[in-house]
Amino acid sequence: MITFEGIWRKLSNKKYREQYALSLLKRSVAFQIKTLRKKHCGSQAVLAERSNVTQGVVSRAEDQEYGNLTFNTVGRIASGLDIAFIGKFVPFSELIKFSEDLSEGEFEEIPTFDEEIAAAGGWGDLKLASFADISQAEAPRQLPKQNLEAGTAAGFATAPPRISPSSEFGSLCLAQAG
Amino acid sequence: MQDVSVQAEFDATLAVLKATVNWRKTRAFGALKRAHVGLGEIRFKLEKPELRRFRPVGIWPPVTEGEFILLLGCEKERNGVLIPPNVFTLALDYKHRWEQGEGEIHDYI
């Protein structure tokens, strides 16, 4: 049985984890673009027009074997979808979790900017929610004092809870065993 | 045993295929036709250090919905030659034997 633990063991080989991470990156980005395009645009031509690229570019972006997408192209396609794309460095334990949780449904649920605003009940409610969060938030301890004000104003008043890779691995193993 | 790069590429291909609802609409999979009906192939390649294309073969359409049973590994050379050369005959034989109740699944993703 190939499990989280099984993949984790394979990742102990540097060559394996290098290839796995690279392949999953190119495949999962192409997978996401195709899933989101089908949900929000229908055809590749529509997404191409909204992204100001050719249909060939969209077609290549959806090709899991291609792997030569530039940040610029991904950015344009994200703009065409009206959804943000963030590149993020993560520990390998998070990469495994990402691959295990990967599903079309996960990405189909991502709203466009307008859908997000509509779901929040419009701009007014979003502002109120943000101010309420900021006023109730505890000041972050790890930020230098001079950055506190800027951080609070930007809405980063509280730092997200950090889970160490080892404890996350432990809890995931328990979940597998249970 | 294949090189670790091939294993990694295969595992990543499976991770994304697992997340794909309609396998017929992805280039990473192909249902075989004519003499090889009843089989499907997973398609992936490695470009470095040299281009290598792989076509692991399994039972298609699935016996149980949402389950793809992989029967054999296969590499496709540039000139179209398959390794092993009789991969589809072998795969059809394994499929037939599986349907007769022989064999067992030893990896499950």
Separation between Cα atoms, residue B51 and residue B9, nearest integer Å: 13
CA distances, A104 to each of A39, B19, B64 (Å):
10, 6, 21
| A122 or A24, higher pLDDT | A24
**pLDDT of res. A131:** 53
Query: Do A106 and A133 fall into the same domain?
Result: no
Query: What residues in chain B have per-residue pLDDT under 70?
Result: 109
Please tell me which of the candidates A24, A100, A104 has its beta carbon nearest to residue B12: A24
A157 CB neighbour count, 10 Å cutoff: 19
Token pair, residue A33, equals 């673009």
Query: Do A129 and A92 fall into the same domain?
Result: no
Structural domain span for residue A34: 1-110
- Contact (CB<8Å) B4/A7: no
- Contact (CB<8Å) B15/A27: yes
Residue A79 lies in a domain: yes
A125 pLDDT tier (thresholds 50, 70, 90): low
Number of structural domains (chain A) is 2
Phi, psi of B29 (to 5 degrees): -145, 145
The model's pTM: 0.77
**pLDDT of res. A151:** 37
Query: Do A127 and A63 fall into the same domain?
Result: no
A29 CB neighbour count, 10 Å cutoff: 20
A14 pLDDT tier (thresholds 50, 70, 90): very high
Query: Do A20 and A99 fall into the same domain?
Result: yes
What is the length of chain A? 178
**pLDDT of res. A168:** 38
pLDDT averaged over every residue in chain A: 78
Residue A115 lies in a domain: no
Left, alpha or beta for B103 (phi > 0: left; psi -120 to 50: alpha)? left
Q: Give B-chain residues touching A5 at CB under 8 angstroms.
A: none
Q: Is the peptide bond before A161 cis (omega within 30 degrees of 0)?
A: no
**pLDDT of res. B67:** 83
CATH of the domain at A34: 1.10.260.40
Query: Do A136 and A68 fall into the same domain?
Result: no
**pLDDT of res. A4:** 62
Q: Give B-chain residues touching A63 at CB under 8 angstroms.
A: 27
Does residue A159 carry a pLDDT above 50? Answer: no
Query: Do A106 and A20 fall into the same domain?
Result: yes
Rounded to a whole number of angstroms, the distance from the CA of A27 to the nearest CA of chain B is: 7
Query: Do A2 and A78 fall into the same domain?
Result: yes
Does residue A147 carry a pLDDT above 90? Answer: no
Residue A39 lies in a domain: yes
* Domain end among A84, A110, A136: A110
Separation between Cα atoms, residue B34 and residue B22, nearest integer Å: 21
**pLDDT of res. B16:** 95
Phi, psi of A52 (to 5 degrees): 60, 40
**pLDDT of res. B36:** 92
Give A29-84 pLDDT, tens digit per residue: 999 999 999 999 999 999 999 999 999 999 999 999 998 999 999 999 999 999 99
DSSP state, residue B34:
G
Chain A from 81 to 110: CB within 8 A of any B CB: 99-100, 102-104
Query: Do A3 and A67 fall into the same domain?
Result: yes
A127 pLDDT tier (thresholds 50, 70, 90): low
- Give the 3-state secondary structure of residue A25: helix
Give B86-106 pLDDT, tens digit per residue: 999 999 999 999 999 998 887
ipTM topping 0.85: yes
Beta-bridge partners for B76: B53, B82
The one-letter amino acid at A135: S
Does residue A1 carry a pLDDT above 50? Answer: no
Query: Do A126 and A102 fall into the same domain?
Result: no
> Over the Cα atoms of chain B, what is R_g?
14
Query: Do A51 and A24 fall into the same domain?
Result: yes
**pLDDT of res. A150:** 39
Q: How far apart are the first and last CA of chain A?
A: 15
Query: Do A57 and A138 fall into the same domain?
Result: no
Query: Do A130 and A102 fall into the same domain?
Result: no
Quote the percentage of chain A above a pLDDT of 70. 66
